Amino acid sequence: MCVVNYYQKKTLGKEIVDGICLYLNITEADYFGCSYYENDYKFWLIPDKPVCKQITGENVYLEFGVKYYVADPLSIEDDVARSFLFLQVRKDIKSGRLPCSFVTLALLNSYFVQAYFGDYDDRYEFDVGYVREYLIDDRPTDEMIVKVVELHKTHVGVSRLEAEKKFLDSAKGLTMYGVHMHNAFDMNVGRNVIIGICGRGVTIYDEKLRINDYPWQNTKLFWHSQDQFVLQITRQITESKDSKVVFRLPSKKHAKKLFKLTVDHHYYFRSVWLAGYLFS
């Protein structure tokens, strides 16, 4: 999912993404974006801004991937786009970004093996290691391998596309599915936290423990100032006024990029919700 791209001076971020999608024959391009890293921090290209004003250098190393993770992956009609989401989620699990239990990981592994190998063959009976190099985890235990083979046997007749769909249908329920993570300091309570941006809204984590949820419908305003990112939350019935949560990011640039990612997600998923509401 990586690409080294040569571009003209005024090339927009969106033009690069659209060009990659055209090359890959992806018709539903809205889910995707290109990102890059600076000092181990991930930034997404701004679609309507020239790339030369976002990053410097003659040769730019970009990573093409899923930016907007839909709540229901099976709603994606484009088989190629859905297959890329399938690969992206597998990568998220493999990198540790998307943790899951042994049971769930074994099931997801079995769907990936089914998508790659097809139906279980009796020739595999005395060589269960056939799945080893295709498992999501780099160092699978013998217990995991045996469990995956056992589950693989139950998927007879499931096509590659159906296996991918079943994989995504199982993965979408994981707590960290589709969450973009950003390290920050919560100035309200005085501790380091992780800010998660996703289709549901803004979620705050302490390590991997979710401690606060701010759904889009409850998030009244958000802005950035210097190295701070601020959320204004609509007051609850028991409260007299709206509340404000302030986070400090590593730099002004980090705060600005987090703000932009939040704006993008808010606009995209509120638009999806509105479209579903109007045409339902």
Count CB-CB contacts under 10 A for residue 87. Answer: 15
Q: How many whole angstroms separate alpha carbon 189 and alpha carbon 185?
A: 9
| Residue 66 · residue 267 · CB < 8 Å | no
In the sheet with 2-5, reading across from the earlier edge strand, the strands are 2-5, 60-66, 32-38, 41-44
The tens digit of pLDDT for each residue in 23-50 reads: 999 999 999 999 988 877 888 998 888 8
Domain annotation for the chain: domains and CATH numbers: 2-68 (3.10.20.90), 75-171 (1.20.80.10), 180-274 (2.30.29.30)
| Residue 178 · residue 199 · CB < 8 Å | yes
Name the residue with tokens 């990659």.
20
Exposed/middle/buried for residue 125 (C-beta within 10 Å: 0-12, 13-18, 19+): exposed
Give percent helix, percent strand, percent coil of the chain, each to the nearest 5. Answer: 45, 25, 30
The tens digit of pLDDT for each residue in 115-170 reads: 998 998 877 665 667 788 788 988 888 899 989 999 999 999 999 999 999 999 99
The tens digit of pLDDT for each residue in 41-95 reads: 888 998 888 888 888 766 678 899 999 999 999 999 999 999 999 999 999 999 9
User: What is the secondary structure of 164-206 as a DSSP string?
Assistant: HHHHHHHHTTSTTTTPEEEEEEETTTTEEEEEEEETTEEEEEE
**pTM of the shown model:** 0.88
Q: How many whole angstroms separate alpha carbon 197 and alpha carbon 12?
A: 24
